Amino acid sequence: MQRMKPSHKLIVTARMRQLQNRRRIKRSSERLPSICRRNDKIRRRIKIENEKENSLLVQWSRGKIEKTSHMNTRWILAALALLPLMLCSCEKRLTGSETPQSIAHVRIAHFAASIPEAQIWLDDEMIASNLDYPSLSQRLDLQAGLHYIRVVQIMEPPLTQLNESFAVSADTFYTLVIADTGGVCRKLLLMDTTTANPAFASVRFVHIADGPRLQLKFHDCAAVWGPVGFGRIITYDTTQCRDDVLAESPDVDSLQISIPDFSLTFGRAYTLFAAGHVDGDTLTGLRIIRAQDWP
């Protein structure tokens, strides 16, 4: 048997492929109408499904928009209703976080001789449960503004002797004095100094004793503070006097009392309080109380 040359083999293979392709094209042309019909059905079905989906999508979208708008309205109304509470909360936080510039420094001086023991209430909060006469508290840090003090005498039943308001400014030092005269409890708010001359002692004299006018004399110098009556104040003055103070009344010669073991230090500021009451025709109930104001 004679073998076919390679070139003839390639030609035969190419012709066979051509015949196969023709047969495929013929079969495809015969099947084309049915395929087209099937494709048309698929297209129509897809179109219907797409229309349904589009309709549902539009309806859902409109409902979503209406629901969202309704929810936004409800949220806005709720936010407006909560706005005052939010503002109050912010105000409380700001009040509870005071800066040094908004703070006043106040100490309580219990110099009411008719109240041996007292409870001190500040803004409805008890700051001293049993304060003896005479007493001077440590300084309290209060927010600048209006405050309320209530003094209750410890007895059965407890008796409120003082219930009043007072106002303080920021970055200022105060002494809130509780005094009495004629059995009536009173308050006196003093603004304390925050400076002192290192070569002198700064002295202020406050008369809160239940009695006549008083004046103070120092034995080691010629300085005299007074005379002043109840509730009167002699403002700060510098002095080089140090000790041996005599309290006397210019109206009654026999009313004199010496205050032993009394001294002042240069470079500091003091308030000398005349507290107590007159016992008969002498000042045996009188006390001169020294309070250091600065530093």
Report whether CATH 3.20.20.70 matches the domain 194-295. no
List, for residues 194-206, the tens digit of each pLDDT value: 999 999 999 999 9
Q: Where are the domains of the chain?
A: 13-97, 100-192, 194-295
List, for residues 249-295, the tens digit of each pLDDT value: 888 877 777 777 889 999 999 999 999 887 665 556 888 899 999 99
CA 25 from centroid of its chain's CA atoms = 92
Residues 6 or more apart whose CB falls under 8 angstroms from that of 243 comprise 218, 219, 220, 262, 263, 264
Torsion angle of C-alpha atoms 227, 228, 230, 232, degrees rounded to 10:
-150
Stated as kind and residue range, the H or E segment containing 242 is none
pTM above 0.95, yes or no: no
Same fold, 100-192 and 194-295: yes
Which fold would CATH assign to domain 100-192?
A: Immunoglobulin-like (2.60.40)
Closest CA to 161 of 192, 191, 190, 133: 133
